[in-house]
Amino acid sequence: MEMSVERIAEETMEHWMIYFPRVWKKADRVEAKKLAMLLAKMTKREMINLQKIVPGMSDYEAWTETMQTYCITPYPPEIPKAEKEQENVKMTKEKKG
């Protein structure tokens, strides 16, 4: 199985959605994607380095060995929260209307 940077980022965001729903609910999706891509790139570098040390290791094996370093962590990610101004504007317009 090919583990591209995009695939690793998707796995990371899915982990956040499942294990940290409160953080994910308040998170800015654009910033979450940026953070997931950054962590995925760092993880991919670790995978490549590990594959250089252990020739013949598949991408999936390298992923399972390195995923807990950056992406699949037991603590919640620090994703900036989404703007609430847009929600407040909608609510005030609905109340006035």
Q: Do residues 44 and 3 touch, judged by C-beta distance below 8 A?
A: yes
1-13 tens-digit pLDDT? 789 999 999 999 9
**Helix residue ranges, H only, 1-97:** 5-19, 21-26, 29-53, 59-70, 85-96
47-81 tens-digit pLDDT? 999 999 999 999 999 999 999 999 999 988 898 88
The structure's pTM equals: 0.80
Show the CA angle centred on residue 6, arms to residues 14 and 86, nearest 5°. Answer: 60
Show the CA angle centred on residue 30, arms to residues 78 and 10, nearest 5°. Answer: 80
